[in-house]
Amino acid sequence: MGAQPIMLARVADSLYWMARYVERAEHSARLIAVNLESMIEQSPEDAEAAWRRVAAALTGDDVAGADAFAVTQALAFDRTNAASLVSSLHLARDNARQVREQLSTEVWEHLNKLYLGTRDPTAQSVWAHQPALFFRQALEDLFTLGGVTYSTLRHGEGWRFLELGRHIERAQLVSRLLDIYFGVGAPSQPLPPPKYFDWLVLLKFCTAFEPYCKEYTAALKPETIAQFLLFDAEFPHSVRFSVDRVVEALGHVAPGAPPSRRANCERLAGRLKAAVDFGHIDELTGGTIDAFLVNITRQCEQIHDAVYATYIAYDAETVL
């Protein structure tokens, strides 16, 4: 037995979920902030449709007929809703607390402050003072958290599990969002087809508006938006980018595990990588984009299951 650093399976589990919940919180905060800002310019009908898309993306609920305040309340502050922003932060922080000794002081304190800062305000008090500002502040704090996570932790196995969690989550969140705009993931009652403004909002949901314009100019076309958010190799919120990070992380976790144990996870990740490396939007016409997006999500889940079976919840007898 050497003195090489080890990673407890339980610790890997907590780090992985901490990162997933942080990513989910960031996604929620951004969707709510962007929508609060853009609804000012929309007709009541368009704004309602936009909130229905946001709710479908974040919690899967159809909020037809509800006003913006009620939707924000449910998506951001409802503790009984496990998918709300406060719940995500709470769960991220709970996981972090269990592995407090693995995190740097900076990472822990930033996450803890975020949690403490969103625990106290009520929807009412936030609503009274430019609600979008509250979510913009939360986003800023989440960006800071991302920064100290990158720059104060060793990029060892623990950090790889954070990356794995973050990017499996992100790939699924972006896929789901695209599914709502392009296909069957939309709420039960049909929505009006997205307008120009809605496509702009979609890009902003993924912090993609400016990077997209650099690549394709401000001419917003659904196909090029899908191409960009699915297949761009260099944009951090594209599905392909996240899948690359997943593959990379899997190459570095559990350095002591023999190749025979690693094989299944790496095979599944490689298969998903092939799908997004060599996919092109021109092949996803005529409704096949639905099936493609569903398949991406399913493959992410398979990778998750394989990681657990191999590295985290394995049967001790198999490795004695």
Where along the sequence are the contacts to another protein (CB under 8 A)? Answer: 1-3, 6-10, 12, 79, 94, 97-98, 100-102, 105, 108-109, 112-113, 116, 157, 253-257, 261, 311-312, 314, 316, 319-320
CB of 15 to another protein, least distance (A): 10
- What Cα–Cα distance (Å) separates residue 278 from each residue in 230, 231, 272? 11, 8, 10
Is the torsion defined by CA of 107, 109, 115, 121 positive or negative?
A: negative
Query: What tokens were used for 314?
Result: 């394995």
CB of 109 to another protein, least distance (A): 5
Q: Are the C-beta atoms of 12 and 253 separated by less than 8 Å?
A: yes
CB of 4 to another protein, least distance (A): 9
Q: Which is nearer to another protein, 44 or 147 (CB)?
A: 147
Residue 36: closest CA among 143, 120, 127: 127
CA pair distance 265, 286, nearest whole angstrom: 32
Q: Exposed e or buried b for every residue in 50-67, given b needs 16+ CB within 10 A? A: bbbbbbbbbbebebeebe
CA 79 to chain centre: 20
Q: Which is nearer to another protein, 27 or 160 (CB)?
A: 160
CA pair distance 284, 281, nearest whole angstrom: 5
Residue 58: closest CA among 93, 23, 17, 19: 23
Residue 253: closest CA among 49, 2, 9: 9
CB of 125 to another protein, least distance (A): 17
Q: Which is nearer to another protein, 182 or 311 (CB)?
A: 311
CB of 79 to another protein, least distance (A): 8
Q: Which is nearer to another protein, 208 or 265 (CB)?
A: 265
CB of 230 to another protein, least distance (A): 31
CB of 245 to another protein, least distance (A): 18
Q: Which is nearer to another protein, 4 or 43 (CB)?
A: 4
CA 46 to chain centre: 25
Q: Which is nearer to another protein, 262 or 273 (CB)?
A: 262
CB of 224 to another protein, least distance (A): 40
Q: Which is nearer to another protein, 224 or 264 (CB)?
A: 264
Q: Which is nearer to another protein, 139 or 253 (CB)?
A: 253
Q: Which residues contact 72 (CB under 8 A, 6 or more apart)?
A: 32, 36, 123, 127, 131
Query: What tokens were used for 174?
Result: 């972006």
Q: Which residues contact 11 (CB under 8 A, 6 or more apart)?
A: 99, 102, 158
Query: What tokens were used for 250?
Result: 């899997």
